Each structure stands twice: as C-alpha cells, then as structure tokens.
Amino acid sequence: MGRRLSQRRKLMKAVVMGAGRMGQAIAWSMDKFGYEIFLVDNNSKNLFDTEYEFSKVSLIHASSEDYFNDNAHIVISAMPYHQNFSIAEKCIESNVPYCDLGGSVPASRKINELARKKGATVITDLGLAPGWVNIIAEDGAKQSCPESIKMMVGGLPKNPNNYLKYNCTWSYDGLINEYKDSCEVLVNGFQTIVQGMEGLELVETSLGVLEAFYTSGGAAHSVSSMQDRGVKNCYYKTLRYQGHRDAMRFLMYECGLDGEDLKQAIIKACPPAEDIVVVRVDVDGTVSEKIVESCDKFSAMQKATAFPISSVADLIGHRIIEGPSSYKDVPYQTFESNLNQLFNEVKDAE
C-alpha cells in the first residue's frame, strides 16, 4: 500500500471535535483520506501534545460551543455524548453534514429526530459498538431474511493479569453505565427491556471460549431497524474473559460499590494495557468475526472505534451518503474498502 487517497481526491475539510485518544485517531484517519483537518479542543494538552503527523491541520483551542466551521464537508464529534446535541444542532441548522460516536440512545434519538425534520445529512453512533458491529449486522440482514441476529463486541486485554481479567482502554464512566443500564432487545418480534449484565452465555471465538452478557448502548437503533426488517430476535452483548461478569456483579451488588467508589476500584485493578478487540456478528448461525490488535501507533480500541467512523465520514463528505441516515444506508463494500485502506495505512506506517 502506501498510496494516499489524497492523490486521487481533491482536498476537503473535516472538523473533528475533541482531541482525546479517539479524536486524534479520527483526525489521523481523515488525513489519510486526504482531508484538511480542523482539530478542536479546549484542553491544550490534548490538542498540542498530539504525537501524530498530519499533511494539513489546524489545531483550534476552543470549546465545542465556541467553534463552528460552516465550510466543512463533514463534522465528526468525538466528544462525550451529552455535548453532541449542541454540535449537531449547529450543523443541521447550517446544512453541514454531521456524524458522531454516540453512546446514548436518548441523545442520539433527539439528534436524529431533528435531522429528519430538517432533512439534514446526519448519522449518529458510528464507533465500534454502536457503530461497526451494527453496520456488519445490517449487511448480514440485507443478504437474506434472517430470524436472528446477534451482535457481540469485546475490548479485552491481550494478556489478562488481574482478577477482573480486564483492562480499560476507553471511558471508565462509560463502562460502568453500560453494565448498570437497561438494554433494548428484540424477542420473538417484540421489543423488550432487559437488565445490563444479564443473559450470560458462553461463546466460542478465535480467542477461545468467552462469556457474553447484555450491556446497554451497543445495539443503538439496530433493534428497531431489525424489527422493521422482520427479524424476530436481535440483541447486543459484550464479550469478556470468563469470570469477569460475576466479579463485577460482586463489586456492584454485594459490596455495594457505586459511582466514584466503583470507578476507582476499576481504575486501580484495571489500568490501561495492550489490548485486542473482537467483533462478532451471528446471522442465523452464520458467523462473521474480526480481530483487531494494537500497534505502536494505536490501541486496538482506537483502531476499532476511529477507523469505522472515519470510513463512513468520508462517504458522507463525498455525498455517497446523504440525508438523515442510519446503518442500513451505509454501502457496505465501499465502507469496507475505506476501512481496509486505513488498516493497511497504519500497517505500512509501522
């Protein structure tokens, strides 16, 4: 590989809101697609300590409330979900295409309702889960008329070395919320609510037998979409090494740890470490599984989160995707081509 996409595409503008670990990986990805990058953050350390090189970048020290670029071909939010609506609203009112990593079904629903009302180009929830796994599931649903779709993702330590058999490579707060909150699932054609951390099952994967259980957020709007397609059963579960769920339930429900106490316990026990990501979709027994490993430049979680949203953002920027959209509107082969380009680019850079 090594041929930059920018050699065959005109320079376009991508605004990335948030210069944290995911935001920087997204900016790197959009740079590889040949975009001029506007990286925005009010945290100067995040913004100016970036270790990545860009062909053309503007580092903008400002809050998401204070900065807006109405000449952008795409705005990508890598901000916490509670800040997404204000960013999306500006984009929708100014007819600037928008996408985000999501993370909250109510917040994304509010954004999508406004986008439909205005006819704006918007896709929410485009990270790993929700995001990549849902796009794979939608492609699987298009190939047949399935009865059952099971989506599973695991962000795991490559070498588990603590009692929880886990090392956090993203948000500790987000992790806890996923475990505690209720989850939407599709059972026998009807939407229903189940509790996070329930539904424990063992699953054979390329990494051996893992445990899977319900967690919130990962299904995003796939449950409703699959119901509309006539799918009878659909759910999202998180994959972990065996024993993790019971250990977490012990801390949360028997020890009574909550909020900051629970967060600090996980931080002390599970510091960031070399990771690996498993993405697994089962469509009526036909399994698609992808493994993402870390490298010197990015963690596995960074790649598995930033590369999918950037691959879709490029399609939005070039108007291959237009209007209020969701996972079913992503042309899978073109998306996968973009995704493979990024995985090859990072491999060439090592």
Q: Dihedral (C-alpha) 136, 142, 145, 146: value to the nearest 10 degrees?
A: 0
The answer to whether residues 180 and 172 touch, using CB atoms and an 8 Å cutoff, is no
Mean pLDDT over 78-102 rounds to: 96
Tell which residue, 100, 71, 61, has the closest CA to residue 13: 71
Q: Residue 24: its pLDDT value, please?
A: 96
**Predicted confidence (pLDDT) per residue in 109-121, tens digit:** 999 999 999 999 9
What share of the chain in percent tops pLDDT 70?
A: 97
Tell which residue, 105, 58, 314, has the closest CA to residue 222: 105
User: For domain 132-293, which architecture applies?
Assistant: 2-Layer Sandwich (3.30)
Mean pLDDT over 167-173 rounds to: 84
Answer whether the bond into residue 106 is a cis peptide, omega within 30°.
Answer: no
Whether the pLDDT of residue 238 is over 50: the answer is yes
Tell me the CA end-to-end span of the chain in Å, nearest whole number. Answer: 12
Mean pLDDT over 223-232 rounds to: 94
Mean pLDDT (the chain, rounded):
93
Mean pLDDT over 201-209 rounds to: 97
| pTM tops 0.75, yes or no | yes
Could you tell me which residues are beta bridge partners of residue 290? 279
Instruction: State the angle between helix axes of 222-229 and 132-143 in degrees (0 to 180), rounded to the nearest 10.
Output: 0
The domains of the chain are located at: 5-124+303-349, 132-293
In sequence order, what are the residues at sequence separation of 6 or more whose Cβ sits closer than 8 angstroms to the Cβ of residue 86? 64, 65
Whether the pLDDT of residue 347 is over 50: the answer is yes
User: For domain 5-124+303-349, which architecture applies?
Assistant: 3-Layer(aba) Sandwich (3.40)
Structure tokens at 107: 């917040």
For residues 54 and 28, what is the distance between their CA atoms, to the nearest angstrom?
7
3 state SS of 78: coil
